[in-house]
Amino acid sequence: MKYTFQDGTTINYEVIRKNNKNIYFRVKEDLVLYITAPMYLSLKSIEELIKKNENSIFVMYEKQEAKVKEEEMFKYLGNKYYIVLKEDVTEVTFKDKEVYAASREMLDSFLNKEMLRVFNEEVEMAKKCFNSLPEFTLRTRKMKTRWGVNDTRKKIITLNTELIKRDIAAIDYVIIHELCHFFEPNHGKNFWYLVSLACPNYKAIRKSLRD
């Protein structure tokens, strides 16, 4: 089913019947309006309620649409690019706010190679801020809740692959943070003092990483 807003925008909607007293509207990632409605409520009544709540529903739609567009953009070192796919492109190139590639697979491959290059280069730079660092292994994997992990017993530092989408300052902070754990295992006063010596603006960077 479809509904057209006053500005001409058309949205698909789906009615989900449940044994509840109220009606609920939600626009999901697929940009479909999902309506949870009581079993007894007629379709005509639902359409009238959509019209009555059109402004708030449209705001939900716009927010979700903006979120979807944001997710579709190519993120690399703190910048966002609109993706332009052309079959004759032989390598990933950037121009203004656009990134050109032959396929999304090419973009993924580029990002993986850049991730390894950038992470290793920044780790080598960060090492210069410390004395007596133990030999350690650098690994990468996608993590949902952490930007980095230091297994001090096995001497393995793991960085979140999503970090390549952040700027260099953020990458450096996470690396320094994990290196400091070789000297201070907990997040106590001494730990943050060590972090501040190598990364004085760490508080601002930590805040940006929550966005």
- pLDDT tens, residue by residue, 35-63: 999 999 999 999 999 999 999 999 999 99
> What is residue 141's predicted lDDT score, i.e. its pLDDT?
96
> What is residue 168's predicted lDDT score, i.e. its pLDDT?
97
d(C-alpha 135, C-alpha 182), whole Å: 11
Is the distance from CB of 52 to CB of 72 less than 8 angstroms?
Answer: no
> What is residue 6's predicted lDDT score, i.e. its pLDDT?
85
CATH superfamily of 115-209: Metalloproteases ("zincins"), catalytic domain (3.30.2010.10)
pLDDT per residue rounded down to tens, the chain (211 residues): 898 988 888 999 999 999 988 999 999 989 999 999 999 999 999 999 999 999 999 999 999 988 877 778 999 999 999 999 999 999 999 999 999 999 999 999 999 999 999 999 999 999 999 999 999 999 999 999 999 999 999 999 999 999 999 999 999 999 999 999 999 999 999 999 999 999 999 999 999 998 7
> What is residue 72's predicted lDDT score, i.e. its pLDDT?
83
What are the extents of the domains in the chain?
Answer: 2-71, 74-105, 115-209
Q: State residue 146 phi and psi, 5-degree precision.
A: -135, 145
